Structure 1
């Protein structure tokens, strides 16, 4: 007999809490009245992504400890990514599969966390722009 009275009261409390939460969320505005800004994960545009200035340093920081031309045969499974020509030879699509941890590819960097999403986006932007040696 105690339960039937408790359940409607609990339902009302939950309903009121949900309404209050939705009301407060709907009332959020910015001082200028605009919608919330869209957050772009990084500043990658085709004008800012160059091989020498952006891509090579990403490979330095994430890949070349094992895949530099002078250690690739012993540490990198024979996959050398030490320079532009080597990266082009192995193909950026295969490299993307590994750094994005796509099923069917070996996740890289081996034994470490996935590369920063912004760096992956920069590599994709560079690739979409023709993967130039610039």
Structure 2
């Protein structure tokens, strides 16, 4: 009978060892989405409408809110050019929508939220007085 208990003790020791090895391997695993995003330095003087803001709106907003499509697709909100954008929007409404804040329609509709960096750039542009530069 001692062989039976010895085998059982050996099997138990092997199972405990395997479990500890598996636990250690699982604890050392990490999941990464690649390189971390670079820091977003947003000096207000570098946030220009033409070079920074307009390209963000081109890539994310003007498919629905452009000059020719906004009456049908954009709920009447025209972001087609500087004049239309600066004369329309309430900064708090725009920021609430692009940040996906509660109580606002998340924009761009049906797509991913703008990057934090792009949102910071828009915030910096608004804080600088929405210059047409």
- Give the TM bin, normalised by the shorter chain: 0.5 to 0.7
Residue in structure 1 matched with residue 21 of structure 2 by the alignment:
none
Task: Point out the structure with the larger helix share.
Answer: 2
Work out the CA distance in 1 between the residues paired with 2:85 and 2:59: 15
Residue in structure 2 matched with residue 63 of structure 1 by the alignment:
61
When normalised by structure 2's length, the TM-score is: 0.68
- Map 1:1-134; keep pairs closer than 5 Å: 41-88=39-86, 89-134=88-133
How far is the alpha carbon of 1:40 from its aligned partner?
A: 7.2
Work out the CA distance in 2 between the residues paired with 1:124 and 1:118: 10
Work out the CA distance in 2 between the residues paired with 1:63 and 1:78: 13
Work out the CA distance in 2 between the residues paired with 1:108 and 1:46: 24
Deviating above 4 A after TM superposition, structure 1's stretches of 4 or more consecutive aligned residues are: none
Task: Give the aligned CA root-mean-square deviation in angstroms.
Answer: 1.5
> Which runs of 5 or more residues in structure 1 are unaligned?
1-38
> Which runs of 5 or more residues in structure 2 are unaligned?
1-36
When normalised by structure 1's length, the TM-score is: 0.67
Between the two proteins, the alignment pairs up a number of residues equal to: 96
- Larger Rg computed on CA atoms: 2
